[in-house]
Structure 1
Amino acid sequence: MTRWIRLLLRSSIVLLAPILIGAGLVVPARAVPDGGDLAAAWLATYEAPPKYPSVYIDWDVPITMSDGTVLKANIYHPADANGPITEPTPTTVSITPYTKLMQMLLDSAVSIPVLYDAIGQLARMLDFSAVGLGGLTDMLKIVPGGAARMFAGVDRKLIQSGYTQIVVDARGTGFSQGSWTAFSPTEQHDGTEIVDWAARQPWSTGKIGMTGYSYTGISQLQTAQQQPSALRALFAVNAGNDLTQDFIATGGALGMPFLAGLLAVVNAAKFVPDMVAVLSGKFDWKWFQDRVSSPFSMLELFFGYILALNPDMMPQATKDVLTPSSTLRTAWAGGTDKIQAPTLMVGGWHDLFTYSQVRAFNNIPLPADQKKLIMADTYHFNGGSNFGAPGLPPRLDVLQRAWFDKWLKDIDNGIDTYDPYVVKQQGGDWIGLPQFPRPEAEYTRMYLSAAPSGNPFPVVHDGSLTPAVTEDRTRLTISPGILPICSRDGAIISGGAIAALDLCGRDSRVAEANALTFTSTPVAEPTTISGPIALRLNTVHDTSDGVWTATINDVAPDGQSTALSTGQLIASLRKIDDTASTRSPNGDYTDPYPELSLTNRQPTIPGQPTTLDIRLNAVEAILQPGHRLRVDVFASNFPRSLPPGLVLADSQLAPQHIQLDPDAPSFVNVPLTGRPGW
């Protein structure tokens, strides 16, 4: 009888726990983002004396693609006193446009005995927050967090534990033949052929992983989507998937600074010749011919976007960016719904690719033990900042070793039990979640009102956020400005460089002098925001186009305004693809997905209202008691983005208006848990 009573009680707890937790009456067991005892074991394994004493490198190994193009790879083997070992090992692949030469130099720096660890320890000790440079402190902490080995694509401790690592120059870059177009269908197919080639080599067990940061992380997801049979694991740091929506043309505006930097670096580096081949009389003349025939890859696309004042002036490459069905745009849209390789992704709430990181991860059709997402409060260039510190996730290099040991060597190390979502809650602590967004979050309208909120700092207009529609019939005007240079968006497009100044990365009050602000009353209890956010604006333009940017902010009692998430949209590219969008139960958008189609461009009619639905990236944040929610609205977003030349011509950078009208209200649709008391 006692046994049956116990079973009944256990069943009741299982059934009632979700209800009680949702009601706030039962606190679930606290997750351990730092991995606890398991992570301590992963670290001990990583730092243990190496199985093999050294690394042997095969330089510039040719890999011939099915179309005859020859790619070049450096292959790093575990070695003993007799040279590379003869025992086959699991193998990892990294495909880079930044050249394996550059990554070799970075690996050499990281591999200097004692020095790298000493720099890491020093970086953990440094703190410039007292002089307003907390962002610089965060940037320096990428060293102890393990990111340098991810940048290099080479981890000698991993190799010496019994792995082979391959770093390949992407087609048309480094010493590889061909013409480079970033993430083209051809480049994506190359990834599959490289994986298959690696699996066939005598030094490989046939179990292949892929690893890397940024571009090399993106190529992993694209390769895995094609399901090469030998691919068994991915470790992708700060990788995106829907590249047009992420940063190439977010909301229709070009991610100019970062894209310009990418094109400049790759186009310059691809002309560095293989001097060993030159001196040995084995120079690859096909490589030279390919460089001469395509000296400035993708620049036509870039300048066509900026300079064309009407569609007829646009080169085809630029039109392809604004044509959803084009081959290039389709390739950039990626997809993860066919991935079968266990995947660990690391991203950041302020990365270039934040938008697609969560979407891509959630679309991977794998159980929770085979996919993990870590989201930090970081930018593109400081991924993994301070990982390994108490309370934070393990270092990136430690996580990578544990992930590959599990899926490429079948070692039962418990990493499959790590929380499926480990996130830094903005305004709070690191937490583990079984789902993201939180299923208990309820979408709530907060309406834009002209009534002042009492914001004492200079803004274009101080308005309020209210839980009910007000009777305002007011027109608020906003003009383009340059202060968003010092903002969260400025920090995002610079990869985090501008965030070195806390004045720009952690406080929006400088940028808000160019903004319309709408602020709620203080929350009475801790209030969580979990998921994507949508802003509906009832706008009026004086011209046939306009540019809109919005942020959602956490406002502290002392007035500091911290942007949690951002979004932007060009008015004429406002048409929403409902098949790719999501809505809350009442029909409001939660994640409106703009088509960004030149063919379906809809110029605004001067003087007439135009409804815009602007997506803000998904976020996990908590408003502490006394804090307030704020929406900032801008009429420009330089340098985060630059509208196409035709939009600049049509908009004339004229003032823009929000028409507050109870019959056509403007509101933010935000996913909340808790009792804010609004």
Structure 2
Amino acid sequence: MVRGTVAALTVAFVMPFITPTGSAETGTEFLGLDAGPLGAQWQAAVDGPQPYDGISPDLAIPLTMSDGTVLKADVLHPMKNGIRSEAPGPVVLSLDGYGKVALTVAQMLLQLPGLEQMVLPFLERVIGSVDLTGTALEGITDLTQQADSGLIEAAAVDPRLVRAGYTIVHVDIRGTGTSEGRWQVFGEKERQDTREIAAWITAQPWSDGNIGTAGTSFMGLSALRAVDSDAPAIKAVFGVVPSGDTFDDITFRGGGFGVGFLPLWLLATNLAKMVPDVEAIIAGRFDPVQQQKWLADRLADPATYLDMVANLYTALHPDQFSDRTREFADPDSSGRRGLTVNASEVSAATFVVTGWFDIFGSSQTTTWSQLGVSPAKKKYVIGDGYHAGGGVAGFGRNGMPRLDTLQRAWFDKWLRGIDNGVDKFAPLTMKQPGGTWTTSDTFPRKGTGYQRMYLTDRPSGTAPGARYDGGLSRNSPTAGRDLTVAPGLASLCSRDTATSLAGIPSIIVGCTEDSRIRETEGLTFTSSPVTEPTAVSGPINIHLNVSHEAADGYWVVTVNDVAPDGQSRQISAGQLVSSMRAIDDSRSDKSANGDYIRPVYYIDLDKRQLTVPGEPMTLDIGSDPIDTTLQPGHRLRVDIFASNFPKGLPPLAVLNDSQLKPQHLQLDPDAPSWMNVALSQPIPE
């Protein structure tokens, strides 16, 4: 009740200062950052009396799929006065890849007397009070300030949903946890399983036929893919740091394999799937025959896709790639297609919480734009953070609703049909890097337009430690110059490294909030300072005129916000293996003048084009979408590098062709290089 009272008082003070966001598409007036009286209503639904007072678990339920594979499920039922409810109600489904046991146990522990009412709020206050601003570990503060945002509860699929009358169903994905089969990594069998699980749920007496999906990270990916599985009963999703395109986000972005994250993730998932089904013993459902089948499946494929990683870095030529490796280099393969959500076919109401620098941050705004639902049914919260947390500090304060409150309101609206106004929450709520929260119903935001900014040989005088200090201008260069950049390891001290390692290195801000160490290996091109706040919004493309000394190369770009004191904060990044430069125009976005905004690469072995040493060529390198504001005195900068370990490392066959030789950027007035970026106004010369 305290949270609801505070929220109501805050609403009364803040509401007069809020300007709502309008939608040209629907005519709907969306809420600003403060949800106002509606937010107080949502919080009251969470804090007020609930129809049930407990949770009754039903563990290790075997679900037999159409091919005979047995998946295991835990079902958490509402309970009152010690009696399990069998009344039909909505269901929240979580498809687990690390094993459902841990999440089920965590949700049950939260029901211990006093833990939710006293211990958790106390821990939120204590953790939230930790402030290391101004120290070498300042990044820890970015994590602690999220303690009261409701993120933890929402990420854990808030068990309070059960006391509100929802049934929560956890299912171990095929080949993971306690389920039989071989792990497919979002293959077609998993989609079929989702349809059959949904059919099983709707046939149960405790289900009213309305299903929502929820989860975080791996489970968030599964939740988002579930709404693309042709299961009509799945009507809503609430995902935390998921991905709409795992292939482009982290697997083979621009042809560089995500070596910093993927091998560790694959190893963790393969280890987790070896834990036997202890719950079945506790629940009296232990089946020796079924357990033998589970063990046989694990022994048949103990290290799923780790063989592909090994093959990537032992094959000296593409002819030596295994069939599994070739599958991921084929855009038409089922394994490759399974890594991308078919967003345009999604009809379920979709709410996603993520961060600009999440390992899956590259695809978020594209997925939001392509979702086949109206702005009332698609909401993305994008924080100034990483996979660990998302950077959502501010939610739960100053009238902004908590994320667990939004999760409850979202499911109440789309699974129960309660007209609570959550559809009026802003379609996009974005934390600008180093700035404040903003809302929008378009991306890029209204009032911005794409324009070229050319890379020139005019020194900016702002990058004395960089390998090269050039200019960034609306005017094409007037003089030619050949610039050299070579592979190195300075990328270890960068925001890209923090991104690839889920944000863990971000606690030390010397590398993540300032690129000047990395820039010692890079070519920098910096604009004049802006004289008034200037919005930068949307995906960015860097068009380069280059040449190579070998048959291949690897180019990395970042876009940075440079402060008057010289601090260079990375706000966007992209990478491209030169031989994988072929662009699928049918899926790419362009400006009115034909310049690429968001190039989409085939990443197809059959379309690989080796480079000719010494011969100039052009590359279009897509850089991550962003929404930020350059403050007066700040500048925009483009950095160019030839390596990005550990975020991206090309396969050994590419490295063998490139020989890790230096690469060349040509500043040529007749074939200029430029950045295509959406700005609210031109940057002064």
Q: Tell me if TM exceeds 0.5.
A: yes
- How big is the shift at 1:142? 4.1
Match of 2:210 among 179, 183, 207: 207
Q: What code does the residue aligned with 2:545 have? A: N
Q: Could you tell me which residue of structure 1 aligns to residue 259 of structure 2?
A: 256
Separation in structure 2 between the aligned mates of residue 240 and residue 18 of structure 1, nearest angstrom: 26
Q: What is residue 641 of structure 2 aligned with on the other side?
A: 634
The alignment status of 1:132 with 2:136, answered yes or no, reads yes
Aligned residues of 1:254 and 1:643 also touching (Cα < 8 A): yes
Match among 186, 196, 201 for residue 198 of structure 1: 201
Q: Which residue of 1 aligns with 2:555?
A: 548
Match of 1:76, as an amino acid? L
Change (3 A) 1:168 1:384: farther
C-alpha deviation, 1:349, in angstroms: 0.8
Q: Residues 357-409 of structure 1: CA distance to partner in whole angstroms, max 9, x if unpaired?
A: 11111111212212212111111111363253435842221110010011111
Measure, in 2, the Cα distance between the counterparts of 1:391 and 1:629.
Answer: 31
For each residue in 1:590-640, what CA deviation from the matched residue of structure 2 results, as whole angstroms up to 9, or x when unmatched?
Answer: 001111111111111111112110001111111011100000111100111
Find the residue that maps to 1:498 and give its secondary structure. Answer: helix
Tell me the SS of whatever aligns to 1:580: coil
- The equivalent of 1:519 in structure 2 is 526
CA deviation profile, 1:310-346 (whole Å, cap 9, x unmatched): 1121111111111111121122133111111111122
Q: Which moved more, 1:329-338 or 1:66-75?
A: 329-338
Q: Report what 1:413 is aligned to.
A: 420
Corresponding residue SS for 2:260:
helix
Q: Is the 8 A contact 1:43 1:398 kept in 2?
A: yes
Instruction: Give the alignment of 1:557-568 within 5 angstroms.
Output: 557-568=564-575
Structure 1 residues 145, 111: CA separation in 2 closer, same or farther (over 3 Å shift)? farther
Aligned residue number for residue 442 of structure 1: 449
Give the structure 1 partner of residue 600 of structure 2. Answer: 593
Match of 2:185 among 165, 175, 182: 182
The Cα shift of 1:425 comes to 2.3
Contact 2:527 2:683 in 1 (8 A): no
Given the alignment of the two structures, is residue 677 of structure 1 paired with residue 677 of structure 2, yes or no?
no
Distance 2:131 2:486 in 1: 38
Q: Pick the aligned partner of 2:147 from 143, 147, 153.
A: 143
Once residues 159 and 18 of structure 1 are traced to their aligned partners in structure 2, the CA distance between those partners, rounded to angstroms, is 35
Residues 525 and 676 in structure 1, CA contact (< 8 A), matched pair in contact too: no
Counterpart in the other structure of 1:33: 33
Which is worse superposed, 166-175 or 501-510?
Answer: 501-510
Distance across 2 between alignment mates of 1:392 and 1:641: 40
SS in 2 for 1:524: coil
Q: Bigger shift: 426-435 or 249-258?
A: 426-435
Shift in alpha-carbon separation, 1:203–1:594, aligned structure 2, 3 A: same
The equivalent of 1:608 in structure 2 is 615
Whether 1:466 and 2:463 are equivalent positions in the alignment is no
1:438-483 CA deviation, whole Å, 9 max, x = no partner?
Answer: 2432111111112210025411111110111112211111111111
1:180-201 alpha-carbon deviations (Å, 9 max, x no partner): 0211111122112212211111
CA spacing shift, 1:660–1:675, aligned 2, 3 Å? closer
State the match for 2:79 in structure 1: 79
Paired residue secondary structure (1:122): helix
Residue 12 (structure 2) aligns with: none
Secondary structure in structure 1 of the residue aligned to 2:345: coil
Q: Give the Cα separation in 1 of the matches to 2:448 and 2:225.
A: 31
Letter of the aligned partner of 1:184 in structure 2? Answer: G
Partner of 2:248: 245
The structure-2 alpha-carbon separation of the partners of 1:31 and 1:494, relative to structure 1 and needing over 3 Å to count, comes to: same
Partner SS, residue 329 of structure 1: helix
Kept in 2: contact 1:522–1:625 (CA 8 A): yes
Distance in 2 (CA, whole Å) between partners of 1:326 and 1:30 is 41
Q: 1:179 to 1:373 in 2, by over 3 A?
A: same
Stretches of structure 2 lacking an aligned partner (at least 5 in a row): 1-21
Query: Partner of 2:411 in structure 1?
Result: 404
TM-score relative to the length of structure 2: 0.92
Q: Which amino acid aligns with 1:334?
A: V
Q: Which whole-Å CA distance do the structure 2 matches of 1:298 and 1:140 have between them?
A: 35
Q: Deviations over 1:561-590 (max 9, x none)?
A: 111111000011111111111110111000
Q: Classify 1:414/1:31 alpha carbon distance in 2 versus 1 (closer, same or farther; 3 Å).
A: closer
Contact 1:384-1:395 at 8 Å conserved across structures? no
| Cα distance, 1:149 vs structure 2 | 3.0
Does the Cα contact within 8 Å between 2:457 and 2:477 map onto a contact in 1? no
Shift of 1:29: 9.9
Q: Per the alignment, do residues 108 and 134 of structure 1 end up closer, same or farther by CA in structure 2, a change over 3 Å counting?
A: farther
User: Which residue type is aligned with residue 85 of structure 2?
Assistant: I
CA distance in 2, matches of 1:334, 1:205: 27
Is structure 2 residue 662 aligned with structure 1 residue 655? yes
Root mean square deviation of aligned Cα: 2.0
Q: How far apart in 1 are the matches of 2:260 and 2:679? A: 34
**Alignment-derived partner of residue 299 in structure 1:** 306
Deviation at 1:161, TM superposition (A): 0.9
Structure 1 residue 82: deviation in Å?
3.5
**Rounded Cα–Cα distance in structure 2 between residues aligned with 1:310 and 1:352:** 29
Answer whether contact 1:508 1:560 (CA < 8 A) is retained.
Answer: yes
Quick one: which amino acid aligns to residue 42 of structure 2?
W
Report if the CA contact (8 A) 1:377-1:424 is conserved: yes
Instruction: Return the letter of the residue paired with 2:186.
Output: F
1:422 counterpart (419, 429, 436) = 429
3-state DSSP class of the match of 2:344?
A: coil
Q: Distance in 2 between matches of 1:163 and 1:623?
A: 45
- Letter in structure 1 aligned against 2:448: A
- Hey, what does 1:118 align to over in structure 2? 122
* Deviation >4 Å, runs of 4+: 28-31, 108-112, 276-281
1:18 shift after superposition: 11
C-alpha distance after superposition, 1:479-508 (max 9, x if no partner): 111111111101100111111111122111
Q: Secondary structure at the match of 2:143?
A: helix
Aligned CA distance change for structure 1 residues 261 and 143 (closer, same or farther; 3 Å)? farther
Structure 1 residues 638-647 or 28-37, which shifts more? 28-37
Deviation, structure 1 residue 99: 0.4
Match of 2:495 among 476, 488, 508: 488
The 10-residue stretch of structure 1 (108-117 or 415-424) with the greater mean CA deviation from structure 2: 108-117
How far does residue 59 in structure 1 lie from its aligned partner after superposition? 0.6
* 2-structure distance, mates of 1:213, 1:476: 44
Among 168, 174, 177, the residue aligned to 1:165: 168
Query: Alpha carbons of 1:34 and 1:126: their partners in 2 closer, same or farther (altered >3 Å)?
Result: farther
Asked if residue 64 in structure 1 is aligned to residue 68 in structure 2, the reply is no
Contact 1:528 1:620 in 2 (8 A): yes
Matched residue, 2:225: 222
What's the offset of the Cα at 1:51? 2.3
Match of 2:365 among 344, 349, 358: 358
| Percentage of identical aligned residues | 41
Partner of 1:311: 318
Letter in 2 for 1:115: V
| Structure 1 residue 285 displacement after superposition | 1.3
1:139 CA drift (Å):
2.1
SS in 2 for 1:241: coil
TM-score (norm 1): 0.93
Provide the C-alpha distance between the structure 1 equivalents of 2:193 and 2:131, rounded to a whole number of angstroms: 44
2: CA distance, partners of 1:362 / 1:584: 16
Q: CA deviation at 1:511?
A: 1.2
Distance apart, 1:148 and its partner CA: 2.6
